[in-house]
Chains A and B, each alone.
Chain A
Amino acid sequence: MNHDNRTPAHAPLPAPSAPLGTKAPAPGQLPAQGGGEQTRIHNIGYRSYDGPRLGRAYARRSLFAQSLKGAYGLGRSAKSKVLPMIIFAVMCIPALVMVAVAVTTKLNDLPVEYTRYAIIMQAVIGLFLAGQAPQSVSRDLRFRTVPLYFSRPVERVDYVVAKFGAMATALFILTASPLLILYIGSLLAKMDFSDQTAGLAQGLVSVALLSVLFGGIGLVLAAFTPRRGFGVAAVIAVLTISVGAVTTLQGIAWATDNLGAIEWLGLFSPITLIDGVQTAFLGATSSFPNESGPGAGPGAVYLLTVLALIAGSYAVLMRRYRRVGL
């Protein structure tokens, strides 16, 4: 095989008398003999590619970007844009309303803390995750596209990191956007700049942690349910059942004056974990009954649990893709 005589993909069309490169010209590829400019060659046969090959890191970035855009339906069918866009709007509209109210009535404080917003909107976040996590990973598994990635420079770790990163980033965009709206509104309403900035920073840290945690949980569930419908159901079920169980038990604990149990029960659902971490470390007001969120000591347990869940999600995904590779 001789690559040298093939025409580079990006070279201008060869001059009519120049060798056209491929070994056996395609039918339409006749050497034009002195025809000059008017003899355009339409079927130029096979062109080889001598341009850059950007390798593994580029492929990983491309996969990340494609997955992130895909989470909002960009680059997909019009139908698949509907749900994420509606969810994004639903997520932001309350913030816009609060800002409008705050600006017109000249409030001194936002009606909601930055750290509280995501807790209030947890169902919306769960819905987004349930829709998009299966979309991101179930398709590749169900259509058995994964081996095509691993037969390329992309490796298992690249695939998992790109998908995990994209899901977490998509969730972060969803949860951080309303916080930014609140922040801009608070400045327009001439609230205290340093208070608001600190509040925003705390809120952003909290939703960043939430995004990575939820992203990991959603992807793990989706990666084990190749049928997309089951994936959606599994994510919704895990999120709602866990939080439902935790709040019910917390309510019972409160009603039975068992206040010590409340702060530990929060360890058993993702959103109450985030609530506990931000109560302990990010100056948030706990949404637990009686506001009896964890202090610094139990808070450390919360934080460690969150980090362990994130690391666990990553490890499970890596294992999962070891089994489906080629």
Chain B
Amino acid sequence: MIATESLSKRFPRVTALDRLSLDIGPGVTGLVGANGAGKSTMIKILLGLSPATEGRAEVLGLDVATSGGAIRERVGYMPEHDCLPADVSATEFVVHMARMSGLPPTAARERTADTLRHVGLYEERYRPIGGYSTGMKQRVKLAQALVHDPKLVLLDEPTNGLDPVGRDEMLGLIRRVWTDFGISVLVTSHLLGELERTCDHVVVIDGGRLLRSSSTSDFTQATATLAIEVTDTDAHPDGTKALREALTAAGVALHAGEEEGLPGAGHILLLDAEGEETYDIVRDTVAELGLGLVRMEQRRHRIAEVFRAEAPADAERPADTHRPADAGRPAQEVQSR
């Protein structure tokens, strides 16, 4: 789908991309990096709108330097910022954009109706976009990127500004773009947590350089960590302690270390969920003790940990200084986004 070879982009004062070599196959690929890591520059180059300083890039087998027009005909792009006129309806707008992609009038209308339905816009598509919620606007933005049935879509921060439910819906939709529509996706984000559920493959760039590129399953190992929080009762004034003892007695391996630095961290138990039966044991144990179960959630080994592991190698810049959103904060923040 996308291949770059020591791709560099230098501006007079900054180096946006530094000898980046990538090979991205079909599927959903996450492009992760902090703000200013070079994600948007990368998209501009891939669309053939900005020449690379050196190196080369191919999209769908076409050279970006010479075949920009052909690439843009078969690639969809969803920008990060607002880009929708407030005074026209979603239907009119997407039809117009379909025609700008070269679709004949009838096909443009048919594809618009189909695409808006697929992204989950129904009756409201005839109303002016100005009255839409952020979630609906994001769907229209996605629809205009898909309307011409591209082979690949480039989505720039598609979950920006959405509430948690909206994010989950958008991520589900992005997943479907590949699984149901067969359109490959390159999605950028500065939030690592959301990509591990959506992407088959994650590319991490930082300061224009490739930090890591591998499949999501490599990032997040199979065994999940369970986080459990319970209430205290009269019978068990320290419910957490009681549960810990009971679970140890039941033969469940608890993590020695606890999450630090979070309010209430001392009340959260972490354990390895080796299979379905672990969940049952926890449920039964909590029920026997008569405790209230406040939370039981999966804590997968997060992509964020990649940064922690790799940061020391990247000696000149410690990870925390340029990735405060994720690395600086413990996992829970990312999870409960």
Q: A residues near B, CB below 8 A? A: 1-3, 6, 9-10, 22-24, 26, 45-49, 51-56, 58-59, 62-63, 66, 75-77, 139-140, 143-145, 147-155, 325-326
Expressed in whole angstroms, the minimum distance between the Cβ of B251 and any Cβ of chain A is 40
Partner of A145, one of B44, B47, B72, B83: B83
Partner of A75, one of B77, B92, B182: B92
Contact A152 B104 (CB under 8 A): no
Contact A49 B148 (CB under 8 A): yes
Taken together as a complex, chains A and B put the C-alpha atoms of A140 and B114 apart, in Å, by 25
Contact A147 B79 (CB under 8 A): yes
Contact B180 A24 (CB under 8 A): yes
Q: Which residues of A contact B82 (CB under 8 A)?
A: 143-144
Contact B97 A49 (CB under 8 A): no
Contact A23 B179 (CB under 8 A): yes
Contact B180 A1 (CB under 8 A): no
Contact B180 A46 (CB under 8 A): yes
Contact B73 A53 (CB under 8 A): yes
Contact A9 B181 (CB under 8 A): no
Contact B144 A148 (CB under 8 A): yes
Contact B182 A63 (CB under 8 A): no
Q: Which residues of A contact B179 (CB under 8 A)?
A: 23-24
Q: B residues near A, CB below 8 A? A: 26, 44, 47, 49-50, 69, 72-73, 75, 77, 79, 81-88, 92, 96-97, 99-104, 107, 110-111, 114, 118, 144, 148-149, 151, 179-184
Q: Which residues of A contact B87 (CB under 8 A)?
A: 76-77, 139
Expressed in whole angstroms, the minimum distance between the Cβ of A160 and any Cβ of chain B is 15
Taken together as a complex, chains A and B put the C-alpha atoms of A66 and B83 apart, in Å, by 18
Taken together as a complex, chains A and B put the C-alpha atoms of A2 and B179 apart, in Å, by 11
Taken together as a complex, chains A and B put the C-alpha atoms of A152 and B144 apart, in Å, by 11
Taken together as a complex, chains A and B put the C-alpha atoms of A52 and B92 apart, in Å, by 21
Taken together as a complex, chains A and B put the C-alpha atoms of A193 and B197 apart, in Å, by 78
Partner of B49, one of A2, A148, A150: A150
| A-B contact sample (16 more), CB < 8 A, given A63-B100, A140-B85 | A1-B182, A1-B184, A9-B110, A9-B149, A22-B181, A46-B180, A46-B181, A58-B104, A59-B102, A143-B84, A144-B79, A147-B83, A152-B72, A152-B100, A325-B49, A326-B79
Contact B144 A53 (CB under 8 A): no
Contact B102 A53 (CB under 8 A): yes
Contact A326 B111 (CB under 8 A): no
Q: Which residues of A contact B151 (CB under 8 A)?
A: 1, 3
Contact B180 A48 (CB under 8 A): no
Partner of B86, one of A2, A6, A66, A143: A143
Q: Which residues of B contact A49 (CB under 8 A)?
A: 103, 107, 111, 148-149
Expressed in whole angstroms, the minimum distance between the Cβ of A102 and any Cβ of chain B is 43
Expressed in whole angstroms, the minimum distance between the Cβ of B112 and any Cβ of chain A is 11
Contact B83 A148 (CB under 8 A): yes
Contact A153 B72 (CB under 8 A): yes
Contact A48 B149 (CB under 8 A): yes
Contact A62 B99 (CB under 8 A): yes
Expressed in whole angstroms, the minimum distance between the Cβ of B37 and any Cβ of chain A is 17
| Smallest CB gap from B129: residue in A | A143
Taken together as a complex, chains A and B put the C-alpha atoms of A3 and B150 apart, in Å, by 11
Taken together as a complex, chains A and B put the C-alpha atoms of A2 and B178 apart, in Å, by 11
Contact A153 B101 (CB under 8 A): yes
Known contacts A53-B148, A143-B85, A325-B49, A151 near B103 by CB under 8 Å: no
